[in-house]
Amino acid sequence: MQRLIEAGHDAVAVFRERPNRFLSMVDIVEPHAENGVAVHLHDPGRLKELLYPGNRVLLKKAKNPDRKTKWDIIAAHDNNSWVFTHSGYHRKVAEAIFADRSISPFGEMAGLKAEVKWGHSQLDFLLTRSNTSQVWIETKGCTLAVDGVALFPDAPTTRGTKHVRSLMDLRSRGNEAAIVMLVFRNDAEVFIPNTRMDPAFAIAVSEALHSGVQLYPLLLDYRDGAIWYDRLLPFRLD
């Protein structure tokens, strides 16, 4: 495994409820006891298999002392391990992977631009290789796995479908394009687009692959206060 970035936690808590998409209530148990604490959830997914009453979660203290919520949820316990849930780290994780040619799916990198506009979409990266060729990249974070199968999305994502179709448009114009799936499930053995949850997204991915867009599901692990790269997962389409 390759250590990518540090992402330590400051507290352990027990999840209580999720009043809205980005707000959750927890009871802190370590390093001190405090009940009914409001915390921020930096992930728009449903996460129902991870965030349920009684489950353990890891918290990170917010850097901004004036913020309304003083904590962020960064991971939840499942299947005897921790599943990383903070999408605000995705950019750093992807950049660490792309910078290491021994694990990057794109080889040696010469340059990287983030949040690059194409038409009506803003894609995550435009990567330039050492041979000056370029590839447009959209990254997604996957936290759902069932019986060893990593599934994305865990909630309908019109935005995600729009991004995939933007990659198809780029590919039709002769550009290289890729979807990088950051799979934060160390129990996953294969990745499949979640047709049952979002048929439109799964159809878009299938059409994108047939058009020449590449798909790279990258298996990651969260342990010892860091995010680690494991390997490239196989994928299949339903």
State which of 15, 50, 84 marks the end of a domain: 84
CA dihedral defined by 200, 205, 207, 209, rounded to 10 degrees? 180
- Predicted pLDDT at 120: 84
Q: The CATH number of the domain where 130 resides is what?
A: 3.40.1350.60
* DSSP state for residue 142 in the 8-state scheme: E
State which of 84, 110, 143 marks the end of a domain: 84
Lowest mean pLDDT among 76-80, 149-153, 198-202, 215-219: 76-80
The pLDDT > 90 percentage for the chain reads 92
pLDDT tens digits along 37-47? 999 999 888 99
Residue at 237 is within a domain: no
Read off the pLDDT of each residue in 214-218 and give the average, rounded to a whole number. Answer: 98
* Nearest residue to 140 via CA among 218, 213, 199, 200: 218
pLDDT greater than 90 at residue 65: no
Q: Hey, what amino acid is at 206?
A: S
| Parent domain of 110 | 87-232
pLDDT tens digits along 145-190? 999 999 999 999 999 999 999 999 999 999 999 999 999 999 999 9
Dist CA 174 CA 171 (whole Å): 5
> How many domains would you assign to the chain?
2
3-state secondary structure of 217: strand
